[in-house]
Structure 1
Amino acid sequence: MAAPHEELENLLFGDAAQNVFAVIDGASVPDLRYKLREMDPPQVCLYQGELEPDMEEVAPYLVQLEQDTDFAEWILKGWGKHWGVFALTSGSLRDLRQHFRKFTVVYDEKGNPMYFRFYDPRVLRVYAPTCTGEELETLFGPVDAYLLEGEEPAVAVRLQRGGGALSQSAVRLDGK
């Protein structure tokens, strides 16, 4: 039986043809900006323009992950702490940046802007099942699958779309 960390790595990096990205919540991850500067993985902030330092600290970041790198090892240690979600895709960093930036701010029925924290696994886990087929196409775009924490940290949830519907599968990381 693989250890939970190994099982998670297998789920993320098991298909060499897929690029693996993390959409990370700066508001939930202590020292994220420091780690990004120190380890320097391919990355981009999902908020546009020049940010004030306090906003830069809490902004969401899109980071391309490579197996067995210091940053990937570090970010996987945050599993269970709602640090973000993972996206598996054949797309590039640029493709995903363009895709995800569409979701950072959404508008309510009165036209008021609101931040949409789709990168919080607690949000995406609840939001995705409510989507229509058309909304799923928009949510997924170039993403083949999302991998995120289940309600229990020992569970990984994989979200995929197919035939206009959402497919969800859960994998226990603790072998139970």
Structure 2
Amino acid sequence: MNVYEAWIGDCHLKEVDGQRECRCQVAVWADGYDVFHARLIEHIEAKGLCLLWVEEGLPATRYLQRHSDQQRQIGILARTVHEGHLVELAQTNFQTVETGPDPEHKYLIYEDISDLVPLDDQFGAWPAKNTPDALIHPLFGQPQPATPDDEHYGHEGDVPVMRTFAIIDAAKLQSGFDEIEECGVPYRCLFKGKAAQDLRDVAPYLLEIDAASEMTRRLLTYNPKLPDNMTTAHLWHKEPGIYIRSRMCFDDVWCHFRKFVRIQDENGKWFYFRFWEPSVLDQLPEIFSPENGKKFFARNLSFVLLTANPSAGRIIRRV
């Protein structure tokens, strides 16, 4: 049985209806990372904020092992949370930040996906679908190669097929890494070394999915008859990650996104940047400068963004 205690994290918040942002520490009364993250999200959304990223997310004792110089302030913050007060943000100092590209984000094209409904229990259906009809083409279609593709690969017959990838947050899964390990499709953690091992149950993973895989069905299914945390059967409502289309191979896609896992603030401190959260991906054109935005939204990638409430989707790609 897990024990509830104070968990500490470093987070970057943004006003939903404004341009002000802040970085602060947070204490959450939790018995694991999943509860820590869920309670943090619920708390900040009630305040009209959104979470751009969160770093650490550790029990207070483990957090202090890494940051012994902050013992006094973390001790004070940790003691503020309990069963009757679940979340406490440290002092916040919101500041207006300059947005990156102009409101039209002219280097990107947006295409809404209409009539989007997740798969249900499909009771009595045969054969069962793995993909909602509205997502068959956006996720698994094979568009004609564009002229630049032909020029890059030499001849039309040499152009690779369009692959489908997902970056999934293991923290959204009931059994964390175990569900990634048993997903039946190629996968690789976006973290490396000790971080990949220590944070494997809360880390992001690149998966290559296809229209026939059972994992695809799980990602695109919501069955209200099942417990929400039964992620071995349905995941849509969890907004588990983002989807990418590309003709690049698995290793090249992994190398591209590895470059954005951590970012540095103006004080030189490094943070994990949760771009694999659908809500964060949707705001990246405003967060990034045009120069950095064009690096992330590379021409050989397109993105499919799916949200659970309300069920909506959009395709994002470079001009």
Please state which band the TM-score falls in when normalised by the shorter chain: 0.7 to 0.9
- Identity fraction in percent: 28
Match of 2:261 among 104, 108, 114: 104
- In 1, Cα distance between equivalents of 2:176 and 2:211: 19
Match of 1:23 among 162, 167, 175: 167
Deviation at 1:30, TM superposition (A): 2.2
Greater alpha carbon shift after TM alignment, 103-112 vs 151-160: 151-160
Does structure 1 residue 71 correspond to structure 2 residue 228? Answer: no
Equivalent pair of 1:46/1:100 in contact (CA under 8 Å): yes
Letter in 2 for 1:86: Y
CA-atom RMSD, angstroms?
A: 2.3
Does structure 1 residue 120 correspond to structure 2 residue 247? Answer: no
Equivalent pair of 1:46/1:97 in contact (CA under 8 Å): yes
Deviation at 1:73, TM superposition (A): 1.2
Tell me which of the two structures has the higher relative contact order, counting C-alpha pairs closer than 8 angstroms and 6 or more residues apart: 1
- 1:62-86 Cα deviation digits (max 9, x unpaired): 0001111111111222224220000
Q: What stretches of structure 1 of length at least 5 have no aligned partner? A: 163-176
Deviation at 1:142, TM superposition (A): 6.0
Equivalent pair of 1:117/1:123 in contact (CA under 8 Å): yes
- 1:98-127 Cα deviation digits (max 9, x unpaired): 011111111100010111000000111112
Does structure 1 residue 136 correspond to structure 2 residue 293? Answer: yes
The residue number in structure 2 matching 1:95 is 252
Change (3 A) 1:52 1:20: closer
Equivalent pair of 1:148/1:157 in contact (CA under 8 Å): yes
Change (3 A) 1:113 1:3: closer
- In 2, Cα distance between equivalents of 1:24 and 1:111: 28
- In 2, Cα distance between equivalents of 1:52 and 1:99: 17
- In 1, Cα distance between equivalents of 2:302 and 2:286: 14
Taking structure 1 as the reference length, the TM-score comes to: 0.80
Does structure 1 residue 12 correspond to structure 2 residue 169? Answer: no
Deviation at 1:28, TM superposition (A): 1.9
Deviation at 1:150, TM superposition (A): 4.2
Equivalent pair of 1:90/1:142 in contact (CA under 8 Å): no
Question: Post-superposition, which runs of at least 4 consecutive aligned residues in structure 1 deviate over 6 A?
Answer: none
- In 1, Cα distance between equivalents of 2:138 and 2:311: 13
Give 3-state SS (helix, strand or coil) of 2:282's partner. helix
Equivalent pair of 2:299/2:318 in contact (CA under 8 Å): no
The residue number in structure 1 matching 2:178 is 34
The residue number in structure 1 matching 2:191 is 47
Give 3-state SS (helix, strand or coil) of 1:58's partner. coil
- In 1, Cα distance between equivalents of 2:308 and 2:217: 22
Q: What stretches of structure 2 of length at least 5 have no aligned partner? A: 1-114, 119-131, 144-160, 222-234
